[in-house]
Amino acid sequence: MLKIRLKRLGAKKAPTYRIIVINSTTKREGKPVEELGHYNPKTKEMKLNKESALAWISKGAQPTDTVKYLITNCNDDGTLNYKKSEVVKLSKKAQAKKAAEEEAKKAAEEAAKAEAEASNTEAAAE
């Protein structure tokens, strides 16, 4: 069975990958049937022959999960359509501080609402 998978290149802690079609029993660094493109996860740079990849999939080649993600998020010209995450990750201390500030804000709003209701009932009593 043919697989579309990544072939690791590059130095230690600086990986780059080639997207290749290869027999599933061949080792990772073995000779590929065809090279479809390359991918650098550090810079999010990618060049992929999308038409050829889809042709291999239609012939029965199975892409790995990572390659499937790269193919689906690839533009027509073969570059990666990378969307930077909008969510900011906070440390546990920062999360606790933010939660405490939100609780204090909520308590202040409730106190202001209670004071406004008390002044309204006093005005109605007069």
Residue 83 predicted with pLDDT over 80: no
- The crossing angle, in degrees rounded to 10, of helices 65-72 and 50-58 is 130
pLDDT at position 13 is 93
In a domain, 77, yes or no: no
**52 and 112 fall within a common domain:** no
Residue at 38: amino acid letter: H
DSSP conformation class of 78 = S
Rounded to 5 degrees, what angle do the CA atoms 63, 18, 62 make? 10
For residue 126, what pLDDT band results from cuts at 50, 70 and 90? Answer: low
Which CATH number does the domain housing residue 32 bear?
3.30.1320.10
**20 and 65 fall within a common domain:** yes
Quote the mean pLDDT of the chain: 89
Domain that holds residue 49: 2-72
Weakest-pLDDT range from 40-49, 85-94, 103-112, 116-125 = 116-125
pLDDT at position 21 is 95
Residue 78 predicted with pLDDT over 80: yes
- With H, G, I as helix, E, B as strand and everything else as coil, classify residue 107: helix
